[in-house]
Amino acid sequence: MDLKGTGDGVDCCISGAGPAGLMLGLLLARCGVRVTVVEKHVDFLRDFRGDTMQRSGMRLLDEIGLGGAFHAIPQRHMERLSFLLDEGEVNAADFTRLPGRKYKFASLVPQWDFLDLLRVTAEKEPGFELVRPAEVTGLLREGGWVAGLRYRDERGEEHEVRAHLTVACDGRHSAIRDQAGLIPVDAQVDVDCWWFQLPRLDTDPEGAGLLRVKGGEVLGLLDRGDFWQCGFFIGKGRDAAHRTQDVSYLRDRIGEFLPWLTDRVAGIDGWDDVKLLDVRLSRLRRWYRDGFLCLGDAAHAMSPAGGVGVNLALMDAAAAARILAEPLRERRVGRRELRQVQRRRRLPILVTQQMQRVLHKITLEPPAPGEEEKLPLMPRLMRRVPPLQVLPAALIATGVQQEHAPASARRD
Ligand SMILES: Cc1cc2nc3c(=O)[nH]c(=O)nc-3n(C[C@H](O)[C@H](O)[C@H](O)COP(=O)(O)OP(=O)(O)OC[C@H]3O[C@@H](n4cnc5c(N)ncnc54)[C@H](O)[C@@H]3O)c2cc1C
């Protein structure tokens, strides 16, 4: 068995190299903290990831000197998120109405390119190490404290990383969070989401995020250049029943929702092209134990509604790095510091999850049997009072709290 960080170990080990784990690793390493990040996949190339970067994330990247490199990645800018209704188009969130001159849009960027930028930058820091592919399998304990983690490499060999602080950034299914006895509380969610792609033609709307609402279901489209990233929200738990039918069921539904897509629905060959996202909204009551902290989706699983999960994960990482960098270097992280991280991030998460619940409810409330379908409340309001379109835009773009990088991690 290999023992990484033997002796006094590393200052911090992180399970998971998603947005939260890599950003935290990079910021801490720039502050002189010795960090090991352990990631189970060999690369970042998975299509089941959130790709929306909001203003809060872009501002953080500017602070750490990565704004230019980020904007050099091919991306699409989305200025508005609109409802498509039988009655016409209504803006749900208008980013162009945001105050300030910079980032009056959301950016749609392949998450793997963004993560690779963080990785390459972090690997320039002498105190940073990324180990992959390596699956974290458990926690090391000493007395009542978490003292690091265990992982299995691609040859099946077991390793240990000893650390002063262990951080779970391994997403909504985090195994070490459960092992630490931290169990998330789920809010009731009535929807699941099918995630698939359709070709996009030059004649289609451009730079768009479109939401087609019909009969209590929503088809969302994000302009990704030569394809539409589509999310089709269905009733919770109804996926298996739908999949007993031919996939033409979905093709027909798309055609009913947006007839101009009919010419390309044949691109969905079968149900294998349609991934199911089990939509969850959950959060931990307590994010930490002695020697252990959860961040990002491991602490609070987000719905894809509004496309904010990546940004919240980045904000968690920035707040944690600012609060913990110095105590980590001095090896004196205790409950007080970990509690401070949770306190700092609790309200933004609560408010955003509440916004997502409202979004689910007011766009997806189906008409009662025998009742005529009427316009959902939210588009009705937005159409009547257009300046209101800035409110969802502001909540999505910066949320309740913009977090900043620690001073030692900033670059021009
Ligand atoms: C289909 C879908 C669409 C979404 N759309 C959007 C969107 O448009 N915009 C947006 O902002 N958010 C979106 N989200 C949410 C967003 O992807 C997440 O909120 C965000 O990625 C959370 O970041 P994270 O770093 O906390 O966790 P994750 O991104 O989940 O990263 C966790 C990392 O940990 C690794 N890992 C897991 N287990 C282990 C283990 N045992 N050992 C080692 N490594 C492990 C994983 O491989 C992964 O790399 C979407 C989510 C899904 C599923």
Please give the average per-residue pLDDT across 383-404, as a whole number. 89
- Expressed in angstroms and rounded, the spacing between residue 209 Cα and the centre of ligand 1 is 21
For residue 63 and ligand 1, the question of a CB distance below 6 A is answered with no
User: What's the first-to-final CA gap in the chain, in angstroms?
Assistant: 42
> What is the tens place of the pLDDT at every residue in 156-208?
999 999 999 999 999 999 999 999 999 999 998 888 999 999 999 999 988 77
How would residue 85 be classed by pLDDT, with cut points 50, 70 and 90? confident
User: Does the structural domain 2-49+111-186+284-364 have CATH classification 3.50.50.60?
Assistant: yes
User: Ligand 1: does its nearest atom lie under 6 Å from the Cβ of 112?
Assistant: no
- Residue to mutate, 36, 37, 42, 49, ligand 1, most ligand atoms under 8 Å from C-beta: 49
Residue 5 has a pLDDT of 45
Q: Give the start-to-end residue ranges of the domains of the chain.
A: 2-49+111-186+284-364, 75-108+190-278+374-398
For a ligand 1 pocket test, name from 37, 38, 39 the mutation site with the most ligand atoms within 8 angstroms of its C-beta: 39
Give the closest residue (by CA) to ligand 1 atom 17. Answer: 50
* The CATH number of domain 75-108+190-278+374-398, selected from 3.30.9, 1.20.58, 1.10.3470, 3.30.70: 3.30.9
Residue nearest to atom 39 of ligand 1 (CA): 170
For the Cβ of 310 lying below 6 angstroms from any atom of ligand 1, the answer is: yes
pLDDT at 6 over 60: no
Looking at 27-41, 43-57, 257-271, 293-307, which range is the least confident one?
43-57
Rounded CA-CA distance 17/22 in Å is 5
Residue 180 φ/ψ, nearest 5 degrees: -80, 0
pLDDT at residue 371, as a whole number = 62
List, for residues 230-246, the tens digit of each pLDDT value. 999 888 899 999 999 99
Answer whether 41 contacts ligand 1 (Cβ < 6 A): yes
So what's the pLDDT on residue 206? 82
pLDDT digits (tens, 9 = 90+) for 270-310: 999 999 999 999 999 999 999 999 999 999 999 888 889 99
Could you read off the pLDDT of 359-368 as tens digits, one per residue?
777 666 655 6
Q: For ligand 1, atom 51, name the residue with the nearest CA.
A: 50
Percent of the chain with pLDDT over 90: 73
Q: How many CA atoms lie within 13 A of 222 on its CB side?
A: 25
Angle at which helices 309-329 and 335-364 pack, to 10 degrees? 180
User: For 113, phi and psi rounded to 5 degrees?
Assistant: -65, -40
Average pLDDT score over residue span 13-36: 98
Which long-range CB contacts under 8 A does 367-371 form with residues at least 24 apart? 367/215, 367/216
Following CA atoms 381, 376, 78, 26 in sequence, which dihedral angle do they give, to the nearest 10 degrees?
A: 100
**Is 247 a pocket residue for ligand 1 (Cβ < 6 Å)?**
no
52 lines ligand 1 (CB under 6 A): yes
Taking the alpha carbons of 38, 42, 43, 48 in that order, is the dihedral positive or negative? negative
Average pLDDT over residues 65-82: 95
- 2-49+111-186+284-364 and 75-108+190-278+374-398 agree in CATH topology: no
pLDDT at 29: 98
pLDDT in tens, 109-131: 999 999 999 999 999 999 999 99
DSSP calls for 147-169 = EEEEEEETTS-EEEEEEEEEEE-
